[in-house]
Amino acid sequence: MPTTSSTVGALGAQDGKAARPLTGQDYKTLALAALGGALEFYDFIIFVFFATVIGELFFPPSVPDWLRQLQTYGIFAAGYLARPLGGIIMAHFGDLLGRKKMFTLSILLMSVPTMLMGLLPTYAAIGLLAPIALLILRILQGAAVGGEVPGAWVFVSEHVPPRRIGYACGTLTAGLTAGILLGSLVATGMNTVFTPAELHDYGWRLPFLLGGVFGIGSMYLRRWLHETPVFAELQQRKALAAEMPLKSVVRDHRGAVVVSMLLTWMLSAGIVVVILMTQGFLQKSYHFDGRTAQLATSIATLCLSVGCIVAGLLADRFGARLTLSVGGTLLAISAYVLYTTIGARPDLLIPLYAVAGFFVGSIGAVPYVLVHAFPPQVRFSGLSFSYNVAYAIFGGLTPVVVTLMLKNDPLAPAHYVVAVCVIGVVTALFVRKRSH
């Protein structure tokens, strides 16, 4: 399964400029891309912070609590299952028409459904049409984020010198995870300002309406970005893909696709289980109050953002293989200690969760591998296909699988994360260091 020199190869025209330092324009591009990504990812992720309230409002009150929660996470998963279609379509045109156009289009496709979610009538008002409408809007969100995340990694990596790609991808990933932090902070604020009854009546709508405003802000920010130098040179030399990019990816880069998908599985396990689902575990399984769970999640997510940047820097310095091997091992250990300790020592929740969150940040080195896995002509399509299909399968089904496992195994989150980290560490051994 090792990647070949062609799949891990050079970054096109940038390879001759490997020694170039980051310029002010590079930092501006990174800052705008990361900030815009944070605002858009907030739109996609805010759903999970209000999953309990949404489950109560959009499904029949007669169903058991565990089934209502499973149905709610099923709609959450639908967003992941829709990612490949949106990602592949946007990546196709991103490889043929330009990175920036698709990078901007994804915002519009995200912000409109998010705002409409905040306006939806509930089950009490329109019956089964409520969860159906919610499902449709969630699918549209998934299609949008399917183009956003791979497009963002490709965009920033093709703007910076090759020796700083890890830092660029880590910074962008930190921006995306900052969207999770923003969602957590908004949810914390809502739980602080509103009583449970007020939150149930109308307060839950406000974060989704706010997401629409964030979408408009993201579109404005990206007006200041420029097309990547790599794509511009390919276009000038008429060296764009001569056939459908995805066809070339599937035919010529199968090894890169497999490695990329398995590493994405580890990425999804860290984000979905340790960051997104643990807030619910803390309340239902460990009996923490909502405010404490939100605070701990916010701190862990902040540590995750820092960890992503550190992992990117380490990938530039020591390579992705070592960074992911060590990082995946420490993530498995820290997650296991977290879930097995906080039941008996609730006072250790915040420090243990902060450490686990930081080591989830080791996934900041994953896009470094994915960017290098495909040549410039099909990079967007190759990365998008591998990442989105893997996230649809693993990220989308993870909440359902872990929820079902919890019925018989109270340590299901720990066991799941450890198992996937082992797979990720083994996969990292097949990642070859990129050569210029």
Higher pLDDT, 251 or 340: 340
Distance in Å from the first CA to the final CA of the chain:
21
Q: What phi and psi values does residue 204 have, to the nearest 5 degrees?
A: -65, -25
- Exposure of 166 in the CB half-sphere (CA atoms within 13 A): 24
Q: Looking at the predicted structure, is the pLDDT value of residue 418 above 90?
A: yes
**pLDDT tens, 254-285?**
899 999 999 999 999 999 899 988 988 888 88
In this structure, which amino acid lies at residue 235? Q
pLDDT of residue 7: 35
Lookup: tokens for 33 = 């891309």
Higher pLDDT, 15 or 301: 301
Is the CB of residue 40 less than 8 Å from the CB of residue 148? yes
Q: Which residues contact 322 (CB under 8 A, 6 or more apart)?
A: 314
Lookup: tokens for 213 = 């405003």
Cα distance between residue 384 and residue 310, in whole Å = 24
3-state secondary structure of 212: helix
Q: Looking at the predicted structure, is the pLDDT value of residue 415 above 70?
A: yes
Q: How many CB atoms lie within 10 A of CB 9?
A: 18
With left for phi above 0 and alpha for psi between -120 and 50, is residue 390 left, alpha or beta? alpha
**pLDDT tens, 339-365?**
999 989 999 999 999 999 999 999 999
pLDDT of residue 98: 65
Question: Residue 231 — pLDDT band, cuts 50, 70, 90?
Answer: low
Cα distance between residue 208 and residue 46, in whole Å = 7
Q: How many CB atoms lie within 10 A of CB 159?
A: 26
pLDDT of residue 10: 40
Lookup: tokens for 280 = 């619910």
Question: Residue 3 — pLDDT band, cuts 50, 70, 90?
Answer: very low
pLDDT of residue 6: 37
Provide mean pLDDT across the span 88-111: 74
pLDDT of residue 107: 79
Across 213-217, 318-322, 409-413, least confident range: 213-217
Share of the chain above pLDDT 70, in %: 89
DSSP annotation of 432 reads P
Cα distance between residue 104 and residue 282, in whole Å = 37
Question: Residue 4 — pLDDT band, cuts 50, 70, 90?
Answer: very low
Q: Which residues contact 313 (CB under 8 A, 6 or more apart)?
A: 166, 167, 170
pLDDT of residue 435: 38
3-state secondary structure of 157: helix
For 65-215, list the strands marked E by DSSP.
none
Domains of the chain, earliest start first:
12-428 (1.20.1250.20)
pTM of the complete model: 0.81
**pLDDT tens, 124-178?**
899 889 889 999 998 888 888 888 788 888 888 888 888 899 999 999 999 888 8
- Cβ burial of 25 (10 Å; 0-12, 13-18, 19+) is exposed
Q: Which residues contact 262 (CB under 8 A, 6 or more apart)?
A: 390, 423, 424, 427
- Cβ burial of 195 (10 Å; 0-12, 13-18, 19+) is exposed
Cα distance between residue 16 and residue 213, in whole Å = 41
Q: Looking at the predicted structure, is the pLDDT value of residue 316 above 90?
A: yes
Residue owning tokens 């992941």: 80
